[in-house]
Amino acid sequence: MKKNKIYLATIFAAIIGLITIAADHIDAPAAQGTTADITDFYAFQGEDTSNLVFVANLQGLLSPSATASASFDENVLVEFNIDTNDDNVEDFVIQALPRDGKMYFFGPFTPTSTGLNSTVNESAIIGEVMITPYDAIAITSTNSAGMKFFAGPRDDPFFMDFARYGEIIAGNASGFNSPGSDTFAGTNVLSVVVEVPKSMIGSSGTINTWVEAKAKQ
Amino acid sequence: MKYTYIKYITFIFSLTFILVGCSNNNDNNDLPMGPDFSGTFMQKDQMGRPAVNTVFVSAASKDEFNVTVPSQQGAKFQSMFETNLTALSPAYANAGDKNALGLDAATFTGLLATDVLNVSLDGKTTFYDGTNVLTGRALADDVITVELLLIFGGEDFSENPSLSNDNVDANDKTFLTSFPYLASPW
């Protein structure tokens, strides 16, 4: 039994090694396969159209059997960056950091220094939510500012015939199949979802956003 | 009078005891304390638009791209993006060749190399829906086909039809209309 598990793990690792691209799944050597590997980033208008929703997905390609034991890393900070004046430098950040079964949220606040290194701003607006366990109904929370929070395993919302794309790039196929086959079907990710009133990050116009995973030193 | 004095002294002593007790408890972590969020967190991964690092950055530079702040990505990586785009879709090398957004290789890669997601605060948020261009990224957006069309589809999305659509148009689970929007795990 144990031998089989190790064998399967080896095969899985070999397959992962072969796969080199996706939305941002396993995009680079230093990030891929780690708890700081961002797989995807979404930003869209909420059900309440006066709100904006940010989604960061991490640790992709989780099989259903691997999902229950997957967990957020307490040493990895997820930071949503928001640029309101089109210079591609963050004017606001929203931070998410897990501690003991809960995801804590800070912001949106204006960071004292921008760029590659961050510290958590504990004096910022704060929210928290229990991390939803695998197979449980989604646990969400709302803070006094009207922000909503979720953290836990979800179906990977990304879809693509990635396997066929790999064959095309490798020169083994001349085009996509029709219909294609979703390489990400049946796999899960760990999601951090935060909904924020637009009034907290600007009034109108276009913002530039991106997400970062940062590891504690 | 004397009795009151003794009571007073006793009270002070008791108070000191209590205060020392509390302080000891804090030192030993016997009482529950707030979580520790201290420390400096250093960047490992970043992402704006889908598939940018994976498609346009050469293998040896992928880690460097992840730790370059967006405001410096354009200057550092645009020419690499243009080289890789032209290798992927040679038509871009022809003079005057553009994609359906009217962007030639230099302009298109200039946009992509700064890896941020543009999001409108005023209306519909979509990667591309035929009308709105780069006003966000919704869960159901077929971003890969949009990118394939912009890479391979030429000026009117008609070129290289076998390369410009992966024919996977939707997710394998239905999204929720309410928070947290993403479907439950498998």
pLDDT at A14 over 60: no
Q: Among residues of chain A, what percentage have pLDDT more than 90?
A: 82
Give the residue, A200 or A6, on which the prediction is more confident: A200
Q: Kindly report the average pLDDT of chain B as a whole number.
A: 88
Residues B36 and B59 sit within 8 Å (Cβ to Cβ): no
Q: Do B120 and A206 touch (CB under 8 A)?
A: yes
Q: Among residues of chain A, what percentage have pLDDT more than 70?
A: 90
Radius of gyration of chain A (CA): 19
pLDDT of residue A10: 43
Q: Do A64 and B186 touch (CB under 8 A)?
A: yes
Complex ipTM value: 0.89
Which residues in chain A are contacts of B184 at CB distance < 8 A?
Answer: 138, 154-155
Q: How many CA atoms lie within 13 A of B100 on its CB side?
A: 18
* One-letter-per-residue 3-state SS of chain A: CHHHHHHHHHHHHHHHHHCCCCCCCCCCCCCCCCCCCEEEEEEEECCCCCEEEEEEEEEEEECHHHHCCCCCCCCEEEEEEEECCCCCCCCEEEEEEEECCEEEEEEEECCCCCCCEECCCCCCCEEEEECCCCCCCCCCEECCCCCEEEEEEEECCCCCCHHHHHHHHCCCCCCCCCCCCCCCCCCEEEEEEEEEEHHHCCCCCEEEEEEEEEEEC
Of B137, B162, B170, the CB nearest to A42: B137
- Give the separation between CA B102 and CA B99, rounded to whole angstroms: 5
Q: Do A117 and B42 touch (CB under 8 A)?
A: yes
Radius of gyration of chain B (CA): 29
* DSSP state string for B23-74: HHHHHHT-S-------S-EEEEEEESSTTHHHHHS-GGGHHHHHTS-HHHHH
- Give the separation between CA B156 and CA B158, rounded to whole angstroms: 5
Q: Where are the domains of chain A?
A: 2-215
pLDDT of residue B61: 96
| Interface membership of B114 toward A (CB under 8 Å) | yes
| Interface membership of B133 toward A (CB under 8 Å) | no
Q: Which residues pair with A190 in a beta bridge?
A: A58, A153
Which residues in chain B are contacts of A30 at CB distance < 8 A?
Answer: 44, 63, 66
Of the candidates B167, B112, B123, the residue with the CA atom closest to the CA atom of residue B142? B167
Mean pLDDT to the nearest integer, B113-119: 98
Give the tens place of pLDDT for each residue, A25-54: 878 888 887 899 999 999 999 999 999 999
Give the tens place of pLDDT for each residue, B28-37: 445 567 899 9
Which residues in chain A are contacts of B126 at CB distance < 8 A?
Answer: 44
Number of Cβ pairs < 8 A linking chain A and chain B: 276
Q: Where are the domains of chain B?
A: 52-156
